[in-house]
Amino acid sequence: MTRIVTVRCHALSEDIGTLVHDEVDLPAPGPGEVQVRTKACAVNFPDILMVQGKYQHKPALPFAPGGEAAGDVAAVGRGVVGTKEGDAVCFGSQVGGFAEAVNVPAASVQPVPGKMTYEKAASYHTTYMTAYVALKVRGGLAAGEWLLVHGATGGVGMAAVDLGKHYGARVIATGGHDDKLRVVKSRGADAVINYTLPDGSLGGFRDRVKELTGTGGADVILDPVGGTVFDESMRCVNWRGRILTVGFTSGRWPQAPVNLILIKSIAVIGVRAGEIGRRDPALGKRNQAALAELAEGGAIDPYVCAGFPLERAVDALRMLENRNVVGKCVVTMNRYEFTPPAPPVEAR
């Protein structure tokens, strides 16, 4: 047994401030498991939704939020091969990351890529896998095409900007805050657009996109927002363009006008990166291998804007809940110090 500190949910609540700091005994890893001494855990919206009881996965109470983390292997269970004590690893798990240590299946861990820090290693896999599957597997993005990324200041959006540039696309990024968009511009976006209208709604970007592209619009559009943003995207997508639907953070499911799909010969494509791997394991393995190659080669560089110590895990969740995160935010363990990057002074 190892005594650890963790932050756990004991009762579902709309108020994420009800999370409790606990000291618990963590058993030795079982067969096929490894015990990871956690260094950093990324914060994601499913963490909040699970505490509120609104997520499709409903873990047994009490549980520690945190589905993506990185750290060092402290012990290995019987039958584990290829992973040893002291290895720096990152892993995905639906829950458990808000803890000083956690036991996870050995199959879920992978080496920390290259010289990536623990914060970045904990932050890259879900967002970049979603962006990769969207742009390359589903969207067929090609060099020289125009890519329009909505919600570009969030984790998936920033990952899509990074990968879009890596694959030779010309990238237009949208978001609702000029200061956040300056960060995206500094990381390589060719143009940024604040799509917040005076009344607080989203839209007003279609003419600017057509002006920037000099054509009928963008060839590929990644949309995690939905609502009015999707509606307007349908009017600035190029002939034979592809609109990649990733989510609906606006809160409204849009209705695709079939007449525009016909007239422009476009495709509206749903993207569920994790489900692709579950339904087609062979494709899932190829996607994992492609992502690992990108990470090892340095093409993946997640932007982590803030880090909170474990005792302030609720503050990290509130930062995400209030939509103040640029890229990713992490919770750090064992008083592990983290200095976020300085924001750019102005757009280039």
Peptide bond into 62 cis (omega under 30): yes
* Burial of 165 (C-beta count, 10 Å sphere; 0-12/13-18/19+): middle
- Is the pLDDT at 347 greater than 70? The verdict is no
CATH: 3.90.180.10, 2.40.170.20, 3.40.50.150, 2.60.120.40. Which one for 2-124+302-332?
A: 3.90.180.10
Q: How confident is the model at residue 348 (pLDDT cuts 50, 70, 90)?
A: very low
Residue with the bigger pLDDT between 47 and 341: it is 47
- How far, in whole angstroms, is CA 313 from its chain's centroid? 18
The answer, yes or no, to whether residue 342 has pLDDT greater than 80, is: no
C-alpha to C-alpha distance for 67 and 47, rounded to whole angstroms: 7
Q: How far is CA 114 from CA 10, 285, 299, 301, in A?
A: 38, 20, 11, 11
| 4-21 residue pLDDT tens | 999 999 999 999 999 999
33-47 average pLDDT score: 94
Q: What confidence tens digit (pLDDT) does each residue in 166-186 have?
A: 999 999 999 999 999 999 999
> Do the domains spanning 2-124+302-332 and 126-275 agree at the CATH topology level?
no
* pLDDT for 346 beyond 70: no
Higher pLDDT, 346 or 171: 171
Domains of the chain: which residue ranges?
2-124+302-332, 126-275
In the predicted structure, residue 316 carries a pLDDT above the cut 90 = yes
How does residue 57 score in pLDDT terms, banded at 50, 70 and 90?
confident
User: Band of the pLDDT at 253, cuts 50, 70, 90?
Assistant: confident
CATH number of the structural domain 126-275: 3.40.50.720
Summarised one tens digit per residue, pLDDT across range 208-226 is 999 999 988 999 999 999 8
Nearest Cα neighbor of 309 from 334, 281, 275, 292 is: 334
pLDDT digits (tens, 9 = 90+) for 67-82: 999 999 999 999 999 9
